[in-house]
């Protein structure tokens, strides 16, 4: 499979998003099914795997860690921090929490380093410079190799990049969601040499042609039930 660069890190052109292992579109999949999917992807040339502590929570990271441990040195693991999922709600990117949750993610992923560590969402209560500084410390310690941002504005990307090089930015991008072409995010990534990783590139399955006005989403297990673009109107 062809390779692409996220900053200086080479990854497979196609990556595997692992959110569904924690059950966000439907009920969580079994560990056996997740492990089979992950290893089949690897056998077919995928070396870039994307997860997050909030997926499950924790379940996706655990499945990814177990499935890919035999091939750890041949793959790139990306995970994310930033949601308050320890009995509270909202966002939490305080440096002390980043230092805590990175250790937990490392344990679940069965690894000694995270190849790409994303801030899952910008925390309005924590300066992005403080977040970047915390990641810089983790990079210096060898626990994290590259820094990423998810759903960040062009301004936030620049502010973070001034403290610690940003290797990748992840945002929703598909034929029906093209905001990053207009809001400066793609231009900023191109200017600064930052890789861009689209999430939901097939529109959360809409672009597969399998969804129509009769499709129903269970609000208890499918996040699409709360998305206006999936409503009849």
Catalytic one of 25, 55, 58, 118 = 55
Note whether 194 and 157 are within 8 A (CB): yes
Length of the chain, in residues: 233
For 163-184, letters b (16+ CB in 10 Å) and e give bbbbbbbbbbbeeebeebeeee
Report in angstroms the alpha-carbon separations of 208 from 91, 140, 174, 202: 32, 43, 12, 7
Tell me whether residue 55 is one of the annotated catalytic residues: yes
Tokens 């409503």 appear where?
231
Q: Which residues are catalytic?
A: 55
């Amino acid at each position: 499979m062809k390779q692409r660069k996220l900053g200086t890190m080479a990854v497979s052109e196609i990556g595997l998003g692992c959110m569904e292992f924690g059950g966000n579109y439907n009920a969580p999949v079994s560990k056996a099914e997740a492990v089979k999917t992950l290893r089949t992807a690897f056998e077919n040339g995928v070396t870039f795997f994307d997860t997050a502590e909030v997926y499950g929570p924790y379940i996706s990271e655990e499945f990814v860690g177990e499935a890919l441990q035999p091939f750890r040195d041949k793959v790139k693991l990306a995970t994310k921090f930033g949601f308050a999922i320890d009995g509270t709600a909202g966002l939490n990117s305080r440096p002390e929490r980043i230092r805590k949750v990175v250790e937990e993610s490392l344990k679940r992923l069965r690894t000694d380093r995270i190849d790409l560590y994303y801030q899952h969402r910008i925390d309005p209560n924590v300066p992005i410079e403080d977040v970047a500084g915390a990641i810089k410390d983790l990079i210096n310690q060898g626990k994290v190799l590259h820094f990423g941002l998810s759903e960040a504005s062009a301004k936030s990307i620049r502010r973070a990049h001034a403290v610690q090089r940003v290797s990748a930015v992840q945002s929703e991008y598909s034929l029906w969601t093209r905001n990053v072409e207009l809001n400066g995010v793609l231009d900023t990534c191109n200017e600064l040499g930052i890789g861009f990783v689209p999430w939901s590139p097939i529109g959360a399955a809409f672009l597969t042609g399998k969804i129509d006005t009769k499709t129903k989403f269970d609000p208890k297990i499918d996040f699409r039930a709360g998305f206006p673009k999936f409503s009849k109107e």
